[in-house]
Amino acid sequence: MENGRSKAPQPKRHHWWPQLQSGYWTGDNGLINVVKSDGSSFAASPTRIGVEGDLYTRFEVTGGKDVTIEKWFSSEIETPFVRALERLISMDGLLRYRRPSAPSTKTRNASDLGFVVRQDFQIMPLSPEHRKAIDAYLAALLVRNPLYLAKLVQFHDKNGGMLPPELPRSRAIKSVALNSMLEVFKLYRDVISQADLGLVIVDCDRELLFGDSGITAKEPWLPGPLPFDIHAPLTPTLALEVLPTPIPRLNRNSCLIMPVNAKGVARFNRIALSDAERFIFSRGQPPIDFIRKHFGAAAPQSIGLRWDGDGDGVVVSYDRNRDQ
């Protein structure tokens, strides 16, 4: 009791995969299919998936718990993203443009990669508020994953540095790692805010998978103007692709609509599977053989990106020999 009032309960179970998003992976039974690397599977509620106890908790000298970070994720990151996700799902107000003629090789490459090539292309306008919410949510989703946080803990455990002397070592390292997580979040958010966005739309009867590694970016960042790219499944039929380029090719408050067929879905799912550690999640009946084959296996880097500052900007190449 404090001043005659009981303290509000502190959140103990911290969802690194927010239920506002994981809920889209529930089937008619309200459960998500979970597949292990050996192909065995079970179904579970979103309340039991993507969650760890005291994941973002910092401990005080008195032994009390500081859950400021978990509350911040909820109020400042997740709440604004709810409306942004609704905007992306709505597909309202798309702008259509006639696709300029392109060499047959580019059209063939796009088709071979699983993109549906049409005579026009579509752009989704985004409000500044929605774009800001998307940038922050993606950056947070990347660094708040327990696998990512474990890397930060390992780094500070190995390198030592300035640790709070008043705390036991394990709690001191956890506290410093959480502070680093917030700093890395800012770095990613700022770069993502300058990036081009593409919204992948599944245009077939297949579904996107989500892995226990969440979303990933290349680390350490690659040298040069293209530090990383991000594949971020939002729902079983929508994903955001992030490409930080020095000079955005699109209005930042917009994203390019990118429909994909079954081949494209398989390609993106291999990216999700390549980083999975223990589990992969699906809404519909999971493709067990596909998951078992590609779980933890490197996805083919058949798309090569480089920056030509004096010419065409981002140059894309496709090597079919690397697709196996």
Calpha distance 260→235 (Å, rounded)? 14
Q: Each residue's pLDDT tens digit in the chain (324 positions)?
A: 344 444 555 677 899 999 999 999 999 999 999 999 999 999 999 999 999 999 999 988 777 899 999 999 999 999 999 999 999 999 999 999 987 776 677 788 788 888 898 889 899 999 999 999 999 999 999 999 999 999 999 998 888 667 777 888 888 899 999 999 999 999 999 999 999 999 999 999 999 999 999 998 888 898 877 888 899 999 999 999 998 877 766 578 999 999 999 999 999 999 999 999 999 999 999 999 999 999 999 986 645 555 555 555 555 666 666 554
The one-letter amino acid at 101: S
Q: Taking the model in full, what pTM does it have?
A: 0.90
Q: Which of 251, 266, 249 is nearest to 302 (CA)?
A: 266
Q: Is 173 a member of any domain?
A: yes
Q: Which of 115, 116, 121 is nearest to 99 (CA)?
A: 121
Kindly state the DSSP code that residue 155 receives in the 8-state scheme. Answer: H
The encoded tokens of residue 231 equal 């594949």
| Count of all residues that appear for the chain in the document | 324
Q: What are residue 90's phi and psi, to 5 degrees?
A: -65, -35
Q: Is 3 a member of any domain?
A: no
Q: Is 1 a member of any domain?
A: no
Yes or no: say if 61 and 319 are a contact pair by the CB < 8 Å rule.
Answer: no
Largest Cα–Cα distance in the chain? 75
Calpha distance 82→64 (Å, rounded)? 31
The one-letter amino acid at 196: D
Q: Which of 170, 139, 168, 144 is nearest to 157 (CA)?
A: 170
Number of domains in the chain: 1
Full residue range of the structural domain in which residue 74 is found: 13-322
Secondary structure class of 287 (helix, strand, coil): coil
